[in-house]
Amino acid sequence: MSARKVSRRAFLKAAGLGAAGVALAACQPQTKAVEAEQIEISMRHDPNEKFRQGYADAAAEFQEIHPNITIVFDDSAAPQGGYIPWMAAGTAPDMFRTAINEGPSFGLTGMVHDVAPHCEKLDIIDKFIPAIWDGFKYKDSVYSVPNDANTLLLWSNPVLYEEAGVADLLPPKTWDDVVKVCEAVTVKDPDPTKAVFGYAIPTTIGWSGFFFWFWLWRFGGDFVTDDTYEILFDSPECREALEALRFLVAEEYLPAIDNWDTPFFNGRCASYEYGSWAVPRDVPGEWNDFTPKGPWTADYEQPNFVLSEQVQLKEGVPNYSVFAGFSQFLPRLTNLHPQETVEWIWYTLTTDPYGSMWLRIGNQLLCTTVYSDPWLEEPAWAVFMKQLETTKPLGRNPAQLQFDGECVNPNFMKAWLGEMEIEEAIAKAVECAEPICEEYRNL
C-alpha cells in the first residue's frame, strides 16, 4: 500500500467495504476469487492547476475504494471544429465538461450516454437540486451529469437609492417598484458617461436573447415546446416583455444596448442583473477568501451591494432567473464504463474537500443537496442558492438555440430599440423560425 496519507472518509469507506466482504465470505462456499475488471477512465482536465491537483488527489482516494478503477487525465484542448466531430472521430476522452445546453444536441445525434439510468442505479437523482436536475432533462433523458451551476440576481447600489429618496424600495420586488426607482434615480445627460440609470442588463448584441429569455419567462411566456417544436413566442406575454424593455430604453432608464460593462460599476446605475460567478470578486466580507478586485471605478467608496432575487415582473408569475452552468458528458464511442464514470463524478461532487472545488476555485454554485460549505451560509451566496429554486435552464432546445441567433435576436433587438414595431418583429421572427422547427419535427 502507498505511504500516502489516507483520508478518514476513504478509510471508513474502504474498511466498511472490507468488513462487508469478510462477512459475506464467511457465509458462502469457498470458491476461487474472481478479480474485478480493471477499468481506466480518461477525463479532460481543467487548465487551472488547483483543479488539476484536486482531481488528482480525489482520483487517488477513489482508487483506494475502487482498486480496479484508474482515472487518467487528458490535457487535450477543446476541439476547434466542434464537440460532435471530436466525439464522432473517437478522439474525445471518456468524459469532459462543457455547457449544459449542449446536451440535447449531443444526445439527439447519439453522441453521448443518457446518464439518467446510471444515476438512478446509484440512487442519486433526488440528491441533485431539483431545478438543476430538471434543467438538464430533455424528453425524459439526461445527457450529462450536472457538475456546477450559476444564475443571475439583482445587484443594487444602496448609495443611489438613498440619495434619490427611495431607500424603502431597496431592493425592488415588482415592476411598479422598478419604474418608481428609475423615475427617482435616473439623471439624463447627452454625455453617456455622466448619465445615471435606474436599471441595467449586461448584454451585447450577441447575448441579448440570453437576457430576454428570463424576461419573457417572468411575463409568463416561453419560446418553443420540447416535444413538438411548436413556436410559443407569438403571444401576448412576449409582447408585454418587449414593451417593458422598450419602455426602459425609450425613457433612458436602461443604459445603451451592447454594453456588457454597464455603469453599475461606475457608481451610476441603481440596479443590475448580474451573476453568481462574480461574487468572490465583487462582494467584500470576512467570509470571502479573496480580496475583491472587481471593476469598481466610482469616485466614492464601493458600498456593500444589496443582492436580491429577481424582480417579479407580473403578478402570479414566479420571479424566474436563468439557470446556466456546466456538466460532464460521456461520449458513447469512447466511454465503455458509464456506470463507473457516473460514480466517479458523484464522488468528486460530494466528498470532502473536493465537493467545494467548483464553488471556491471556479466561483460556481453547487449542484447537490448533500454537500454544504460555510460560504453558502453567507448572504451573498445564500440568495443565489435560493434563486436556483426558481430558475429555468439556459436554452437547450436545439431548435431554439438555432432560431434564437438567426431569427429572434436580430428582430427583437430592433423592437427594444424602437427601430421596428413589436408586431412586425414577432412576425418576422416567427416566419424565420418556423422552417427550423419543421426540420426538427421531421427528424
- The alpha-helical segments, DSSP class H, found in 110-187 are 116-122, 130-136, 158-163, 175-185
The residue among 233, 143, 227 whose CA lies nearest residue 440 is: 227
| 98 neighbors 44 (Cβ within 8 angstroms) | no
Nearest residue to 181 (alpha-carbon basis) of 169, 192, 190: 169
Task: Give residue 30's identity as a one-letter amino acid code.
Answer: Q
Whether residue 420 contacts residue 227, with contact meaning beta carbons closer than 8 Å, is answered with no
Q: Cell 445615471 sits at which residue?
A: 196
Q: Convert the pLDDT of each residue in 401-420 to its tens digit.
A: 889 989 998 899 899 889 99
3-state secondary structure of 50: helix
- Which H helix or E strand runs over 25? helix 8-26
Find how far residue 38's CA is from the centre of its chain: 35
Q: What is the mean pLDDT of each run of 10 residues along the chain (443 residues)?
A: 34 35 38 70 90 95 97 86 92 93 89 97 96 88 95 96 98 98 96 91 71 92 93 97 94 80 90 92 82 86 94 96 93 97 97 92 92 87 93 86 90 90 97 96 85
pLDDT tens digits for range 26-53: 344 444 445 678 999 999 988 889 999 9
The Cα–Cα gap between 38 and 34 comes to 12
pLDDT at res. 35: 67
| Residue 407 confidence (pLDDT) | 93
- CB under 8 Å to 116, separation ≥6 — which residues? 125, 137, 140, 141, 142
Chain segment 336-376, per-residue pLDDT in tens? 999 999 999 999 999 999 999 999 898 999 999 998 888 88
Grid coordinates belonging to 101: 445546453
Handedness of CA 35, 36, 42, 46 (dihedral sign): negative
Cα distance between residue 59 and residue 357, in whole Å: 14
**What's the pLDDT score for residue 163?**
97
Tracing cell 445603451 back to the chain, one arrives at: 256
Question: Cβ(304)–Cβ(291) under 8 Å?
Answer: no
The separation between CA 314 and the C-alpha centre of its own chain, rounded to angstroms, equals 24
Give the pLDDT confidence score for residue 24 in this predicted structure: 33
pLDDT at position 258: 67
| pLDDT of the residue at 39 | 96
DSSP string, 211-230: HHHHHHHHTT--SB-TTT--
